[in-house]
Amino acid sequence: MKVSLVKSFVAAFFSLIVISGCATTQNLLDKEYTKETVPDRQTSFTQLWAVEDEGEFRVSGKLRVNGSMAKNVPSFVEVALLDKNGVVIDRQKVLYHPGVLNGSKGHREARFIARFPVAPPNGTIIRLSNVD
């Protein structure tokens, strides 16, 4: 009985490793792409990811309010893909959720995601800015 319990535990452990390894996607930011953020006094970007998965390219992250109070925070995040010379390859203006960032408890950060149909070439600069 003890041997079968150990075998079951080992099988479950390796199954978990295989399943989680297959579901993990690698963050390509700072490896194949360069991150650039446009400075803003009220907000900053955190937890940024650039992932190529199933034929599409996604840039996601969080927009965070700096400090305890924020007024008139712009409603969109602009994600621009630039080549090495600074020429825009593609850009998207996406909403963040939840859409209210006023700095009070529970309203300090919001998620965003931008989807592009194809992945840009290696060395692309991903520029993020908070815009209206």
Domain membership of residue 13 (yes or no) is: no
Q: How far apart are CA 105 and CA 66, in angstroms?
A: 13
Q: Are 126 and 35 in contact (CB under 8 A)?
A: yes
Domain membership of residue 5 (yes or no) is: no
Given this model, what pLDDT does residue 11 score? 66
The whole-angstrom distance between residue 96's C-alpha and the CA centroid of its chain comes to 12
H/E/C letters for each residue in 43-106?
EEEEEEEEEEECCEEEEEEEEEECCCCCCCCCCEEEEEEECCCCCEEEEEEEECECCCCCCCCC
Per-residue pLDDT, averaged over 103-118, amounts to: 82
Question: Is pTM, for the whole model, over 0.85?
Answer: no
Q: Are 49 and 27 in contact (CB under 8 A)?
A: yes
Domain membership of residue 11 (yes or no) is: no
CATH number at residue 46: 2.60.40
Domain membership of residue 64 (yes or no) is: yes
Given this model, what pLDDT does residue 28 score? 74
Q: Are 116 and 92 in contact (CB under 8 A)?
A: yes
Given this model, what pLDDT does residue 22 score? 47
Domain membership of residue 56 (yes or no) is: yes
Task: Report pLDDT digits (tens) over 20-49.
Answer: 444 456 777 767 899 999 988 888 899 999
Domain that holds residue 70: 26-131
Q: How far apart are CA 8 and CA 119, in angstroms?
A: 42
Domain membership of residue 127 (yes or no) is: yes
- What share of the chain in percent tops pLDDT 90? 41
Total domains present in the chain: 1
DSSP letter, residue 35: E
Domain membership of residue 19 (yes or no) is: no
